[in-house]
Structure 1
Amino acid sequence: MSPANCRLKHVFDIEVLFGADRAIFGPLPGGGSQGYTPAIGGTISGPRLSGIVVPHSGADYALVRDDGTIELSAHYLLEADDGTKIYIQNRGYLIRAAPGEAKPSYFRLTPYFRVPAGPHDWLSRTVIVGGGERLTDPDRSLFRYYALV
């Protein structure tokens, strides 16, 4: 296979539950507003990783830009079923469809991981991309992650 040929392989899904202690403040000097949404728990499932989102281990510190784009910057801890702690930083974009448009919101991200040596250290040397959707009742986001192979 040529190095320019890439494909995606599903590796895991994460459901992140959010708390009610949300905050948004601004406007900021450069424009936009700063958001804070705490991650209160969640689950990980899939062919390469399963476990939990460690409760109250982080939050999404999103920048809400004046053009309506939301720059996601979420940091929290995962715990694999074998007890391994994994740091994740999710960076990406949420662009909401304009009112009346048929197209869905664009919700894409690129996670970065820190993980100890062992069975899950493949996360620290694999390019992973994901897509997500925001749901309510309960307030949560669902993410599906793919390894670029």
Structure 2
Amino acid sequence: MLLDAELVLELNVEVGEVQEVGKTPKGFLRLIPITGGTFSGKNIKGKVLSGGYDWNTALNDEIVHAFARYTLQTDDGVYISIENEGYLDSRIQDKKIKTTPRFQISDGKYDWLRSGVFVGNLEAGKTDTPSVSIKVYEMK
């Protein structure tokens, strides 16, 4: 069985200098500050606000767990809270992190983001500014 998905959102998330917490009971923790960026998609666009973080934990030498929480602001002033979680397995040649973004948003024209099922691909950004590129797909 093949699953059907539609690309609904593309984000360029700018990141700051990594802050190493170090070895913890869950793995080696790095905090990656989210410093800005932009997004666009299905009848929506805006900016990524600074102030969020990715709690990036190396579980072992091959598996990294990413958990990011930050805020988007649409061009018409609506705030959207996003949590994006996923894993990178360095043994796989495709170096994209597969993620499961979840959105919190008030009622209105973008509330479709809170009722859908979404998956994402996260990879290193393609700009001079340190960033990641995230493509978000809605499962049909």
Give the distance between the partners of 1:91 and 1:48, measured in 2 at CA.
Answer: 24
Q: What residue ranges of structure 1 are gaps of 5+ in the alignment?
A: none
User: What secondary structure, in the 3-state scheme, does the structure 1 residue paired with 2:24 have?
Assistant: coil
Equivalent-residue separation in structure 2 for 1:29 and 1:109 (angstroms): 23
Among 82, 92, 106, the alignment partner of 1:88 is 82
CA offset digits 1:86-136 (Å, max 9, x no partner): 0000000122247xxxx2314110001100000111111000101021137
Q: What displacement does 1:23 show?
A: 1.1
What is the 5 A alignment of 1:73-84?
Answer: 73-84=67-78
> Who is 2:19 aligned against?
23
* Higher strand content, 1 or 2: 2
Partner of 1:131: 121
1:9 aligns with 2:6: yes
Distance in 1 of aligned mates of 2:101 and 2:85? 6
Contact 2:122/2:134 (8 A) holds in 1? yes
Confirm whether residue 70 of structure 1 aligns to residue 72 of structure 2: no
Aligned length: 139
Residues 62, 91 of structure 2: 8 Å contact kept: no
Percent identity, aligned pairs only, is 31
Instruction: Indicate conservation of the 8 Å contact 1:93/1:108, yes or no.
Output: yes
Q: Runs of at least 4 residues of structure 1 off by over 4 A?
A: none
Indicate the SS of the match to 1:124: helix
| TM-score normalised per structure 1 | 0.85
TM-score (normalizing by structure 2): 0.90
CA shift at 1:77, angstroms? 0.2
RMSD in angstroms over aligned alpha carbons? 1.8
